[in-house]
């Protein structure tokens, strides 16, 4: 499998390349965002990369913008984002622009490989540029949510929560799944935080419009109505 590592720290990029090659991967390296975006685009002609390891703080073009542009072009290659920033809002921003997972530096190489393999197992199923349920629509690239002709302002966390529910519209989603995917894969905090944010979301996407898109399934979790409520 062919991977792309986009990392401006030359020694780290070289170490990642050596380690991933030892795991049996073919690895290309780019040291700035512009080159990384170019390589990702050009690789599509040859079948594309299996996954991209993408640093956030890059010269030329940030990892956020690289990921955002790929998603806007309909390129859904799995992206594992790396950052020296340790903060939930930075992680939320990365997920909001379309990253599939996030690691904070310094990180365990063993964990990086495990997360990469998890992404590769899931693959890159086609994802629509705009997610919709009835007249409720979310555009990940533009970071925009609308109900009909009305634009709705959401916080990064609310946006991530709605995006996750929309991607599983019509399904019952347990609170634990939401916590792992919207907060952190290893988050072991209070499940009540999910209930709190579901309440925030309802007050913005449902209540003003007389809808019930976000439904509580007692004892099981939440479901976003496929028809938008």
Residue range(s) occupied by CATH 3.40.50.2300 in the chain: 2-122
Q: What does the pLDDT read at residue 122? A: 79
Q: What does the pLDDT read at residue 224? A: 94
Sequence-ordered list of residues with C-beta below 8 angstroms from that of 156, at least 6 positions apart, any chain: 89, 92, 93, 96
223 token code pair: 């479901």
Residue range(s) occupied by CATH 1.10.10.10 in the chain: 131-224
Record the pTM: 0.58
From first to last of its 229 residues, the chain has per-residue pLDDT tens of: 899 999 999 999 999 999 999 999 999 999 999 999 999 999 887 788 999 999 998 999 999 889 888 887 878 899 999 987 655 555 566 666 778 888 888 888 999 999 999 888 877 666 666 888 999 999 876 788 999 999 999 988 898 899 889 988 899 989 888 887 787 655 556 678 889 999 999 999 999 999 999 999 988 899 999 999 8
| CATH fold of the domain at 131-224 | Arc Repressor Mutant, subunit A (1.10.10)
Cβ 201 vs Cβ 193: under 8 Å: no
Q: What CATH number is given for 2-122 in this structure?
A: 3.40.50.2300
DSSP single-letter state for residue 77: -
Dist CA 67 CA 54 (whole Å): 8
Q: What does the pLDDT read at residue 189? A: 61
Q: What does the pLDDT read at residue 184? A: 60
């Amino acid at each position: 499998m062919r991977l792309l590592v986009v990392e401006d720290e030359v020694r780290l990029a070289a170490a990642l390349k050596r380690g991933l090659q030892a795991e049996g991967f073919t690895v290309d390296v780019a040291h700035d965002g512009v080159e990384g975006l170019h390589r990702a685009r050009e690789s599509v002609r040859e079948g594309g990369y299996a996954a991209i390891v993408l640093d956030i703080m890059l010269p030329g073009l940030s990892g956020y913008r690289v990921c955002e542009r790929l998603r806007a072009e309909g390129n859904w290659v799995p992206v594992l984002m790396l950052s020296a920033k340790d903060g939930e809002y930075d992680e939320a921003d990365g997920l909001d622009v379309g990253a599939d997972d996030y690691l904070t530096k310094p990180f365990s190489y063993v964990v990086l490989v495990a997360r990469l393999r998890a992404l590769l197992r899931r693959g890159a199923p086609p994802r629509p540029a705009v997610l919709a349920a009835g007249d409720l629509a979310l555009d990940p690239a533009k970071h925009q949510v609308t109900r009909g002709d009305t634009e709705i302002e959401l916080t990064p966390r609310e946006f991530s929560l709605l995006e996750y529910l929309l991607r599983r519209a019509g399904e019952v989603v347990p609170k634990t799944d939401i916590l792992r995917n919207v907060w952190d894969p290893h988050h072991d905090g209070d499940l009540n935080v999910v209930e709190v944010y579901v309440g925030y979301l309802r007050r913005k996407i449902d209540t003003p419009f007389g809808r019930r898109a976000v439904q509580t399934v007692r004892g099981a979790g939440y479901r976003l109505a496929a028809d938008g409520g």
